[in-house]
Amino acid sequence: MNQKIELLFTLDEGYLRPLKVALLSIHANNPKQAFRIWLVHERISQESLVSLQAFSEHLGFEFREMKVDGSNWENAPTVARYPKEMYFRLLAGEILPEEITKVLYLDPDILVINSLNELWNIDLTNHLLAAATHIGLLDLTTPLNKVRLDLDHEYYNSGIMLLNLAQAREKIKWEDISQVLQKHANYLLLPDQDILNYLYGKYALTIPEEKWNYDARMYTKYLAKSLNKHDIHWVLRNTAILHFCGKPKPWSKKHDNRFTALYLNYQQRTDIIEESIRKKL
């Protein structure tokens, strides 16, 4: 049997519907793989948790929720699109049980369209985490982020991260994060992602974004970078995680790109399953 994959999500109530869509896509494209879902939150209602647990178990997933005290983050920079819960993933090593030594963190605004096994089985012995960079066709943002945060390494996207929790428990300390928040809060554009890169990016292993963290806005960029090799057929065969970065989100009527219909199909299937579960509860 395959080893159970541990998946981590940290979010608020507003992202529960996208989370269910993501979970359905994971199930559909990893049908023989066992998963355990870890939901870390501060104030999701009991009714919503019961609904999410029922949905997860319908898919055959083990479900665990962990409520945390978010008071440490009260003064941390947040915006509507990046709530306080985004910081919880940084302290996954402290929050999750000691026996969990590795976890795959996923943002909820994703579709998984191929197997996650290869990503899960990456050797992280000498690294704190594995993550992708989002490099533009002319790569203008990476140099700016390096200067802004005084980095001597790549700038990693924190939306998909394979975390070595054994190393996280040694290296990631609230005191260090708190110090960065106090000194540099005004310079943090993507707050938790900036902190991750500033403090811990030097411990990261780079994984290919085209496969593991495909920015769904950037089809034309990927196609051009690959000299027309990474067309839609290549994506559907080789990309594992489509990440709907930025705005508008694919559940919004304003979203209309090459991957919108695919997302809406999974959303429609999710709603059908939800209605079936509600009738049984």
| pLDDT of 1 | 45
> Looking at this protein, which amino acid is placed at residue 54?
A
pLDDT digits (tens, 9 = 90+) for 238-256: 999 999 999 999 999 999 9
| pLDDT of 222 | 96
For residue 140, pLDDT over 50 is answered with: no
Between 222 and 3, where is the model more confident? 222
Which residues are CB-neighbours of 25 under 8 A, at least 6 positions away? 110, 111, 112, 113, 266
Rounded Cα–Cα distance for residues 183 and 185 (Å): 6
φ/ψ region of 60 (left if φ > 0, alpha if ψ in -120 to 50, else beta) reads left
Between 146 and 202, where is the model more confident? 202
pLDDT, mean of residues 263-270: 98
Entry pTM: 0.90
pLDDT, mean of residues 186-212: 87
For residue 143, pLDDT over 60 is answered with: no
Mean pLDDT of the residues in the chain: 89
| pLDDT of 206 | 97
Domains of the chain as residue ranges with CATH: 5-209 (3.90.550.10)
